[in-house]
């Protein structure tokens, strides 16, 4: 089952970086994105992508936001 996490990194991310991570920008925030992952391995892979980009992970929080929320499109 896919889970959605709110991921916050230090610094401002460009739209291109957000898209390259397969994430969706969170409204009214320049450092938080929502990302869907299939399992723990995919979550670790996403964190590894952040590290490869030199981004500092500030927080990683599971959310209860529905997958098809209008804010995600």
CATH number assigned to the domain comprising residue 14: 3.30.70.1560
Q: Is residue 71 part of a domain?
A: no
Q: Is residue 61 part of a domain?
A: yes
0.75 surpassed by pTM: no
35: left (phi over 0), alpha (psi -120 to 50) or beta: beta
What confidence tens digit (pLDDT) does each residue in 13-65 have?
888 888 898 888 776 555 788 999 999 999 999 999 999 999 989 899 999 76
How far apart, in whole angstroms, are the C-alpha atoms of residue 68 and residue 59?
23
Q: What is the number of domains present in the chain? A: 1
Domain limits at 50? 3-65
């Amino acid at each position: 089952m896919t889970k959605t996490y709110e991921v916050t990194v230090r610094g401002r991310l460009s739209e291109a970086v957000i898209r390259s991570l397969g994430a969706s920008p969170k409204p009214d925030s320049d450092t938080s994105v929502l990302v869907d992952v299939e399992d723990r391995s995919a979550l670790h892979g996403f964190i590894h992508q952040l590290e490869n980009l030199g981004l500092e992970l500030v927080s990683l929080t599971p959310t209860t936001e529905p997958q098809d929320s209008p804010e995600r499109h």
